[in-house]
Amino acid sequence: MALRETDDISAGAAGSRDAAKNDGRAEARALVKQMNGAQRAATVIIAVGDDRAGKLFSSMNDDEIKEISTAMSTLGSIKATVVEEVFRNFVSTFSGAGSLTGNLTGTERLLSRFIDGDRLEGIMEGVRGPAGRTMWEKLANVDANILATYLKNEHPQTVAVILGKIRPDHAAHVLACFVEDFGNDVVSRMIGAEPVKKEILARIETTLRVELMATLVRTSKQNNHELLAGIFNHFDRNHEGRFMGALQERNGESAEKVRAFMFTFADLARVDPAGVQVLIRAINKDDLSMALKGAPAEILELFFGNMTARAAGILRDDMEAMGAVRLRDVEKAQATVLLVARTLADKGEIIIADGSAADEIIY
């Protein structure tokens, strides 16, 4: 009888341990399910050790390293059960690893073993995010448009708390980026705001650190579509058509984005009158005559209207005297004119409006 009772007690204790273990695994599965790909990858890299981590990093490009390193530096403490769940097929290898800690210092130390100084600094700059000791100081260095784009998807009450923690001038710029109804809602909540509990503020800071800083790493990268558009702007029509056609076949969406960034000959209509006169003086007259052959009426009027009657007459005579010309010669001359226009715009000598109300020219 006593033996049977002892067996029952042992069986009960074992059952409790199994239940607790199963609960722990269920919790780990739930946590891992909430992790994004970069966080899971960061967990693996921390767990495998420096040597294996170095081999993994060496096969990645800088953007991938930045994204995973950002996740790694903000993981904090990771339970062994979570590590086991991430590795699923490798539990036997990593189940004894215990808890892990991912932080900025450890991440930089690890990367320094495999990446040279300049490249490492560039990666860590992206990982660290905007300068500042606290999250609120960091937000003060985030572009207002980027911050507003992130916050517009948050609850107005959360946004009110965040804007109440940053500099007034920066908060004003962010508010100005919101649509009217959302911005008004945020302002109303700021008026009626009460002191925020420390744990709620801590959660907001953690969310900003994990989500917004990772977003900034991606958005701070040079816009590849804009970069490619700048290259395409230097092509003649034949080469532009060739490369744009190939891009269109492979990725139509990207091709459209590149076109949106490109500066075409028709876009000269966005140059202000004073700028057109500067442009005329800077362009070789033979190039201008050739470039205007077959140009839209709007562009012809733009140039002729900003010349004296005599100069416009001479230019028309030169264009007529050319007779028939090759299309490739016209395109080459137009590319030359566009290059001069972009150079002058970069120097601030002419203004090329972007079409928005904020970019309207006032005299």
Specify which of 160-174, 224-238, 249-263 reaches the highest per-range mean pLDDT. Answer: 160-174
Which residue, of 158, 191, 219, is where some domain finishes?
219
Q: Is residue 206 part of a domain?
A: yes
Cα distances from 330 to residues 238, 257, 265, 335, 338, in angstroms, run 12, 26, 11, 9, 12
Quick one: average pLDDT of 213-223? 53
Token pair in block for residue 102: 């991912």
pLDDT reported for residue 314: 92
114-151 residues labelled b (16+ CB within 10 A) or e (exposed): bbeeeebeebbebbbbbeeeebbebbbebbbebbbebb
Mean pLDDT, the chain, whole residue set: 76
Range of weakest confidence among 49-58, 159-168, 293-302, 322-331: 49-58
Q: Is residue 343 part of a domain?
A: yes
Q: Cα angle vertex 184, ends 180, 187, to 5°?
A: 140
Quick one: average pLDDT of 39-67? 80
Are 278 and 352 found together in one domain?
Answer: yes
Are 50 and 108 found together in one domain?
Answer: yes
Per-residue pLDDT band for 125 (boundaries 50, 70, 90) equals low
Quick one: average pLDDT of 39-68? 80
Q: Is residue 288 part of a domain?
A: yes
- Reply yes or no on whether the pLDDT at 15 is more than 80: no
Quick one: average pLDDT of 79-86? 81
Are 100 and 6 found together in one domain?
Answer: yes
Are 7 and 113 found together in one domain?
Answer: yes
Q: Is residue 224 part of a domain?
A: no
Helices and strands (H and E) in the chain: how many: 23, 2
Total count of domains within the chain? 4
Are 309 and 270 found together in one domain?
Answer: yes
Q: What is the pLDDT of residues 96-105, one digit of tens each?
A: 445 555 666 6
Identify the three-state secondary structure at position 78: strand
Are 47 and 76 found together in one domain?
Answer: yes
pLDDT reported for residue 310: 92
Which residue, of 128, 148, 177, is where some domain finishes?
128
Are 16 and 121 found together in one domain?
Answer: yes
- Cβ neighbours of residue 99 under 8 Å, at least 6 residues apart? 77, 78, 79, 80
Q: Is residue 225 part of a domain?
A: no
pLDDT reported for residue 282: 92
Full 3-state SS string of 271-315: ECHHHHHHHHHHCCHHHHHHHCCCCCHHHHHHHHCCCCHHHHHHH
Q: Residue 271 maps to which CATH number?
A: 1.10.220.30
Count Cα neighbours of 322 within 13 Å in the Cβ-side half-sphere.
21
Which residue, of 128, 161, 186, is where some domain finishes?
128
Are 16 and 101 found together in one domain?
Answer: yes
Identify the three-state secondary structure at position 77: strand
| Residue 283: domain span | 263-359
Are 171 and 63 found together in one domain?
Answer: no
Q: Is residue 99 part of a domain?
A: yes
Rounding to the nearest 10 degrees, give the CA dihedral for residues 314, 318, 320, 322: 180
Contacts 24+ apart (CB under 8 A), 167-170: 167/140, 170/139, 170/140, 170/144
Are 189 and 285 found together in one domain?
Answer: no
Full-prediction pTM beyond 0.85?
Answer: no
Q: Is residue 227 part of a domain?
A: no
Are 240 and 211 found together in one domain?
Answer: no
Q: Is residue 228 part of a domain?
A: no
Are 277 and 324 found together in one domain?
Answer: yes
Token pair in block for residue 276: 């057109």
